[in-house]
Structure 1
Amino acid sequence: MPSPAAPGPRNLLTDRPELYEARFPDPGRLAARWTEDVLRRHGAGPRVLDLGCGTGRDAAHLHAAGRTVTGADVSEAMLAYARAHHPGPRHVHADLRGFDLGQGEFDAVTCLDSALLYCHTNEQLDAFLASCRRALSPGGLLVAEMRNGAYFLGRTDLLEAPKVAGFAWGGTTYRSTTTLTVDRTAQLLRRTRRWTADDGSAPVEQHSAWRLVFPQELRHLLASHGFDVLELHDGPGPRTDPPWSEDGPPPGRATDADRLHLVARHPGPTTP
């Protein structure tokens, strides 16, 4: 969020989704293709809830693949943009840190691009998993893609220097300087991003954070909510190097690199 002295949007990219898509173009819909591949490999049914759907690109791709998709996000600006620019799915307002969209209404819940890690506390992670279990039908899948907390054990390459990036949209050039720091006490990866633009607008400084979740910690959390882990690996995936492809290698078993990919199944009630 901007500091009190920096007037402007609450979050430059979230409040202006057209800028988000300009900054993070995905013409090949790589994340959605990876997700569809996971759903097919594990035999998921057609009803999908895309949590943290953002601008709606991935949800629309899954809809075009023949699935019945609900996109959910906490940002009304993102939801309005998704309805206007990526129609097909149903779009609803929901906070992934605790939501109720019905009992057993979905065959799969997807949560991409580290959205799960906006659950900063143990209570929020528990609420997320309890909400997902309630939303899933027996045998339903939870599919997530996120940063890997284990990557930051002894590594500082992403923390050593600010990252500078820029893009142009609508005749204006935007530049960002991003700094990452690890808050070990809160187990958070904190991000400070300062935006400038050549249109004369005031700079905007934003602060956000992701929970650093470790693979074995994640396994324990999932087991405590009754999920069976089918896949947990660091690649290949939509944001790995090299990225996932339809004809590439199968999922690995290591959990060492900077992304983490999860597939878990809700087994349903046990029978005596």
Structure 2
Amino acid sequence: MTRVTRTTTPGTGEGGARPIPGNLLTDHPELYEARFPDPDRLAARWTEDCLRRHEGGPRVLDLGCGTGRDAAHLHAGGRRVTGADLSEAMLTHARTHHPGPDYVHADLRGFDLGQSVFDAVVCLDSALLYCHTGAALDGFLTSCRHALAPGGLLVAEMRNGAYFLGRTDLLDTPRADAFTWRGTVHRSVTTLTVDRTAQLLRRTRVWTTDDVASPPVEQHSAWRLLFPQELRHLLTAHGFEVLELHDGPGPRTEPPWRQGLLPGANADADRLHVVARRNTTD
């Protein structure tokens, strides 16, 4: 019988799977960048476009900065960037391979960076959706409001919960991917399921390699399924004015965003993008 090692992303405990500390991708940032290459820095360029169109100031906090690629690109463009992440491995990699920004350890579900004040908070690649509960979402938005100067911007990109209302195309068939890193072929099979009670999109991913000595690794994680009007309500309740709320174009849409494209008016596809401004009065 094949032995499968199981790991669980913090906060996404799966019944029956004994959590093992760590996560294959977040513990190996170079592997993460090989699996999710972004040579054109599309996510950072889309973010910069949002900031420019809405006259965002130079002080930027990149929450869930991961390997630091986007933070470093924004920094190279002249912004004063702080990257924050919960993974020390990611932060170490960012400081070494993507220098320029300040990198700090912080949990986006509730953070306090002291006297630091920012003109924009950026939260890309569904990082916001690791806030699985209402309390976690409140903690995120309260922390963002405290960190932002009056009139500051919140720019976020995530999966769209509305897409899964009646659609099963992303759920029906497991997705297989493969890539080569350091001469070894890494394969993954990803299965998505909807937990309607918890309002979560759960992901199970099984990793294998050509190295016969390495057993398969099974990992579990989940994203909160937020709906456009739910997100609008949450932002308004926390003192934000929603400037944009749309499904595309964006860095992970098809076709992807390119310079000069303006946001659409729909919020029906798989991705959701939001730009909101902190009210100038408390």
> TM-score, normalised on structure 1?
0.96
After TM superposition, give the deviation of residue 103 of structure 1 in Å. 5.1
Cα distance in 2 for partners of 1:43, 1:111 equals 18
Instruction: State the SS of the aligned residue for 1:12.
Output: coil
Give yes or no for the alignment of 1:268 onto 2:280. Answer: yes
Find the counterpart in structure 1 of residue 90 from structure 2: 78
Find the counterpart in structure 2 of residue 156 from structure 1: 168
Task: Give the 5 Å matches for 1:135-146.
Answer: 135-146=147-158
Find the counterpart in structure 2 of residue 235 from structure 1: 248
Which structure 1 segments of 5+ residues have no match? Answer: none
Match of 2:7 among 2, 5, 17: 2
Find the counterpart in structure 1 of residue 227 from structure 2: 214
Give yes or no for the alignment of 1:201 onto 2:214. Answer: yes
Q: Which runs of 4+ in 1 moved over 6 A?
A: 3-9
After TM superposition, give the deviation of residue 267 of structure 1 in Å. 1.5
Residue-pair matches, total: 269
* Contact 1:145/1:261 (8 A) holds in 2: yes
After TM superposition, give the deviation of residue 35 of structure 1 in Å. 0.2
Cα distance in 2 for partners of 1:5, 1:135 equals 37
Task: Give the 5 Å matches for 1:24-103.
Answer: 24-102=36-114
Cα distance in 1 for partners of 2:66, 2:242 equals 26
Alpha-carbon RMSD across the aligned residues, in angstroms, is 1.6
User: Given residue 229 of structure 2, which amino acid in structure 1 is its aligned partner?
Assistant: Q
Q: Deviations over 1:219-258 (max 9, x none)?
A: 11001101000000000000000110003x3101100000
Instruction: State the SS of the aligned residue for 2:25.
Output: helix
CA 1:197/1:125 → structure 2, altered by over 3 Å: closer, same or farther? Answer: same
* Contact 1:15/1:77 (8 A) holds in 2: yes
After TM superposition, give the deviation of residue 101 of structure 1 in Å. 1.0
Instruction: State the SS of the aligned residue for 1:14.
Output: coil
Using the aligned pairs only, state the percent identity: 76
Cα distance in 2 for partners of 1:5, 1:73 equals 25
Give yes or no for the alignment of 1:252 onto 2:264. Answer: yes
Match of 1:115 among 119, 127, 135: 127
After TM superposition, give the deviation of residue 104 of structure 1 in Å. 6.2
Cα distance in 2 for partners of 1:135, 1:29 equals 26
